[in-house]
Amino acid sequence: MLAITALNNQLQLINLPIPQPAAGQLLVKVAAAGVNRADLMQAQGKYPPPPGESAILGLEIAGEVVAFGQGVTDFKVGDKVFGLVAGGAYAGYCLLEQSLSVLQPNTLGAIAAASLPEAWMTAWFNLIEIGKLQAGQRVLIHAGASGVGAAAIQLAKSLGAWVSVTCGSPQKQAFCRSLGADLAINYREQDFAAEIKAAGGVDLILDSVGGAYLAGNQRCLNSDGLMIVIGLLGGVEAQLNLGLLLVKRQRIAGSTLRSQPLVVKARLAQALREQIVPHLGQQFQLTLDRTFALNEVAAAHDYLAQNRNLGKVVLLVGDEMA
């Protein structure tokens, strides 16, 4: 099969044997793969896959089951499925754990299905499991127009939270408001910390920017508030104000999904399966921005790197990769 890897910061198309499913795994013929910033970081050599996982790029897939390993009872050959993988999505075939697999409903195509796992499972993990967000609380979501941001806005609103976001253009502000954001701040023109503080501060921050935003986050985070750092677009280092940390009893947590144990990911996949997918098109909206053909994978990465997306970007795989 053909697959996309990266060597010396360059995307490469290589030919590899089709992987064989182990116990509890599905072998999926990939139709579509979600594109995530983690893929860009891996391609740059900054985010290697966890030990033992595929070096092929890509963290989420949709496709058709063509074989399975021992112990698989919930799926059969011919089923259309989607789910989260720790690597291997940019390929003709990919292994998917049964516990992370979601049966694709007839109302979803492969492209839409591939846009769901990483964004929604990340939002659920951080807002609900780590952040314990409750009705009436106030949340700030950085990069609100990203795939994770778009999911997080909707999830937070469904919980009854007041939601603010940062984004980089009037178009993105409008996009975030259309998903339910109460306050959308253009960080290029406004001081987000001053705007949030004037609006009453926040109890929870979902931060995909990191370093450059630490000081502003501390300024607008309320007493006993929690900041969850899930990305490092703004750098890996920053100066922490320990005085504010102590006086306001602030907490900071780091969070990544890719390295979580299978039992944690399985719990998140169950939430996606039971709490999100049945409500798509009603309580929750798909936020698919754009698709790229396989031979446009470099353009897809550039599109994401330039922050042009409103929601998710998906790579078409299909028969080209067999």
The model's pTM: 0.96
Give the H or E element holding residue 290. strand 288-292
List pLDDT tens digits, range 216-270: 999 999 999 999 999 998 889 999 999 999 999 999 999 999 999 999 999 999 9
pLDDT of residue 319: 60
Q: What is the pLDDT of residue 281?
A: 94
Residue of 287, 285, 316, 319 lying closest to 300 (CA atoms): 316
Please say if the pLDDT value at position 192 is more than 50.
yes
Q: Give the residue ranges of DSSP H helices in 10-162.
A: 37-43, 110-114, 117-124, 147-158
Give the number of residues written for the chain: 322
Domains detected in the chain: 2-116+286-321 (3.90.180.10), 119-254 (3.40.50.720)
d(CA 185, CA 177): 10
- Token readout for 306 is 């330039």
Q: Are 156 and 235 in contact (CB under 8 A)?
A: no
Answer yes or no: are the C-beta atoms of 162 and 140 closer than 8 Å.
no
Q: Is 70 exposed, middle or buried (0-12, 13-18, 19+ CB in 10 A)?
A: exposed
Alpha helices in the chain (DSSP H): 37-43, 110-114, 117-124, 147-158, 170-178, 192-199, 214-220, 242-247, 262-271, 297-305
The amino acid sitting at 113 is A
Whether residue 294 has pLDDT greater than 80: yes
Single-letter amino acid code for the residue at 137: Q
Residue 320 has pLDDT above 70, yes or no: no
The closest of 268, 265, 260, 263 to 50, measured between CA atoms, is: 260
Integer distance in angstroms from the first to the last C-alpha of the chain?
A: 5
Evaluate if residue 322 carries a pLDDT over 50.
no
Q: How far is CA 297 from CA 43, 287, 308, in A?
A: 11, 20, 15
Q: DSSP E strands: which ranges in 36-123? A: 60-68, 80-84, 93-97, 101-103
- Spatial strand order of the sheet with 221-229 comes to 183-186, 162-167, 138-141, 202-207, 221-229, 251-254
Interval 118-167: pLDDT, tens: 999 999 999 999 999 999 999 999 999 999 999 999 999 999 999 999 99
Give 12-16 contacts, CB < 8 A, sequence gap 24+: 16/56, 16/91
**Structure confidence at residue 318 (pLDDT):** 80
> Which residues on adjacent β-strands are paired with residue 185?
166
Percent of the chain topping pLDDT 90: 93
What span, in angstroms and rounded, lies between the C-alpha atoms of 201 and 319? 50
| Contact partners, residue 209, CB within 8 Å, separation at least 6 | 142, 143, 231, 232, 233, 234
